[in-house]
Amino acid sequence: MRILLALAIGVTGVLATLLALAQQAPPSRNVDDVTTTTIPKPSTTTTTIRVTTTTTLPKATATAEICGNCVDDDGDGLTDFEDPACCADRQIFPMAIDTGRIRPHRRTSLLGLKSLLAAQGLSDVNPLREDVFLQIRAARGDEVFCAKVPASRFVAKRPGVFRFRDRKHLVGTARGIDRLAVGIARNGVRFRAFARHAEFTSPRDRPLTVTVSFRNPLAAEGGNRCSTAQDLQTNRRGALRVP
């Protein structure tokens, strides 16, 4: 009897203990009661920045006129001694033409010129030291003819008379000139030029400007001297006859 009473008491204690543990345990959770929280991945934003690079080029420097190369270097429409950069107003003298002849034939022209370059002011020119230039230009047009006779090709025949001859046309810069002479006298400086086949064709029915210049290649351009004649009218065939 005592044994049965002890077992009953022991079972009752075990049940009480189990009941107490059951009350302390957290309530069971159903699957439906579970809330799932999804944390979004951080988004990546790509920002494109356009960088514009501006390159500033230096301004082109205007080319200065180079005197004596028969080229319009500065592009102002005036070549060499027609340009004030090579012959300023104080360096220019009016030319009086005694006779002038131009007769075109094919790609060349017969050229004859006899003139008084200046009555005063040019008496100190010296073709033995100064190159001599002959230029012909059409009004409202391009350069027609530009020839250079180097000082080294002149010969002094007598005091005040300087001559150049090139019948075989060995001097390329002379552009076909056969003979050229400069005479210095008390009454002025005279000029003559002749070419059977000068390397140019004369424009038709256009006024021409003729310029004769003296330039010392070893001196400054301020020492250049020029003589010019304007409004020499060609006919419809491009020929010129003065007078």
Helices (H), the chain: 2-24
| Helices and strands (DSSP H and E) totals, the chain | 1, 12
The mean pLDDT of 125-143, rounded to a whole number, is 93
Residue 172 has pLDDT above 70, yes or no: yes
The per-residue b/e assignment along 79-115, b for 16 or more CB within 10 angstroms, e otherwise, is bbbbbebbbeeebbbebebeebebbbeeebbbbbbbb
Average pLDDT of the residues in 131-142: 92
Please report the pLDDT score of residue 63 as a whole number: 86
Copy the structure tokens of residue 12. Answer: 């009752």
pLDDT confidence bin for 16, thresholds 50/70/90: low
Which residues does 107 contact at the CB level (< 8 Å), separation at least 6?
199, 201
Q: What is the CA radius of gyration of the chain?
A: 52
Distance CA 124, CA 126 (A): 6
Percent of the chain with pLDDT over 90: 71
Strands 92-94 and 225-233: parallel
Number of other CB atoms surrounding residue 223 within 10 Å: 12
Reading the block at residue 93, the tokens are 């003298």
In this prediction, residue 5 carries a pLDDT of 40
Q: Look at residue 6 and tell me whether its pLDDT is greater than 50.
A: no
Q: What pLDDT score does 1 carry?
A: 46
Confidence of residue 139 (pLDDT cuts 50, 70, 90): confident
